Structure 1
Amino acid sequence: MAHETYSTSDLSRRSGDVISEALRRPVTITQRRKPRLVLLSIEDYERLLSGRSQRSGTLESMSDELLEEVEEAIAVYAEEAEDR
């Protein structure tokens, strides 16, 4: 499950798609190719406010699927850092 990123233009033109995705998992909204906002479901927001977080662990204890997602997120972050 890859992390989704949308531009502010995408949000304007494809708000239904962006909202649907945000109901499944948080999405990043970019402006001028820089991350500016995160759109997330009310359940995720309330969990953040309450201080409850998802299960934590180590790289060795996480599933292969989750490790792949972390590696993809790091690659996206590194790519965005190069663009700055």
Structure 2
Amino acid sequence: MTRSAGSYTTSDLSRRSDDIIVEALRHPVNITQRNKPRLVLLNIEDYERLMRQSRMRSAFTLETMSDALLCEFEGAADAYADSDETNR
């Protein structure tokens, strides 16, 4: 039984996999189990786009930042502090 458009149970997936796959080719489909979200089915293009975006994101600490990035970060922080003082 379909709960809402784009959302199916694991039982639906076992009974209607062809229909659900066709829908997942158009847009992401949520799969629930015991009324909890468990999976998302999506087409390969969307998956690859998400993976590219995640690779572009990075987390740094001050110790691991390049000198150029640290300098840019400090400049942005200083500019923010200056604008905050001006607005007080």
Q: TM-score, normalised by structure 1?
A: 0.57
What stretches of structure 1 move > 4 A for 4+ residues in a row? Answer: none
Per-residue deviation, 1:3:
4.9
Structure 2 residue aligned with 1:4, among 6, 27, 30? 6
**CA RMSD between the two structures:** 1.7
The reply to whether residue 51 of structure 1 matches residue 53 of structure 2 is yes
Q: Percent identity?
A: 69
Give the AA of the match of 1:17: D
Could you say which structure has the larger radius of gyration?
2
* Number of positions where the alignment pairs a residue of Structure 1 with one of Structure 2: 51
Structure 1 alignment gaps of length 5 or more:
53-84
- In structure 2, what is the equivalent of residue 38 of structure 1? 40
Unmatched 5+ residue regions in structure 2? Answer: 55-88
TM-score w.r.t. the length of structure 2 is 0.55
Q: In 2, distance between residues paired with 1:3 and 1:47?
A: 23
Higher relative contact order (CA 8 A, sep 6+): 1
